[in-house]
Amino acid sequence: MTIAERLIARLREAGLDLPEGSRLVRIYPSPAMRNEGAWSWSAFGPGGRELQIGSQYPMAELLAAERLDTMQVMSGAVGTDTDVFPAMACQRCQGTAVTACRICRTQLCGPCLTDHHHEGYGTPTSN
């Protein structure tokens, strides 16, 4: 299977609606567009219908991720797009991490972050 076919299978496992015959098309955004979060691929259904599913992460990077997460993002007149990204795992409990500690860069979920302290540095804040 190609990288795109394997990623389609992963996306279906993650609960995304990709009908039979869907394909993922690579996009080559300029570096400036990439900084603004431009997608590096986008999904098309049978007949070339835009599925409004894509990611700024390259397909290979998503395939390498242990878990995928998705987020609905508003995209002007056409409604919502589904953004795919690698889920970060909390390094203490393996839950879904929401942030990384500013001091030691450990990825943590909300409850673990609350318990996470560094002697002499005070409590890391979540913002």
Contact residues toward Zn ion (CB under 5 A) are 90, 92-93, 95, 101, 103-104, 106, 109, 112
- Alpha carbon distance 35, 81 (integer Å): 18
Cβ 108 to Zn ion shortest distance, Å: 6
Q: Which is nearer to Zn ion, 70 or 91 (CB)?
A: 91
Phi-psi region of 94 (alpha: psi -120 to 50; beta: other; left: phi over 0): left
Give CA–CA dist 71/91, Å, rounded: 22
Q: Quick one: 8 or 109, whose CB is closer to Zn ion? A: 109
What minimum distance in Å lies between the beta carbon of 91 and Zn ion?
A: 8
Distance CA 105, CA 18 (A): 35
**Closer to Zn ion at the Cβ: 11 or 90?**
90
- Least distance to Zn ion, CB of residue 65, Å: 18
- The CA–CA distances, whole Å, from 104 to 6, 20, 69, 94, 108 equal 34, 45, 24, 17, 11
Residue among 18 and 101 whose Cβ is closer to Zn ion: 101
CB of 94 to Zn ion, least distance (A): 7
Which burial class, exposed, middle or buried, applies to 43 when counting CB atoms under 10 A from its CB (0-12, 13-18, 19+)? buried
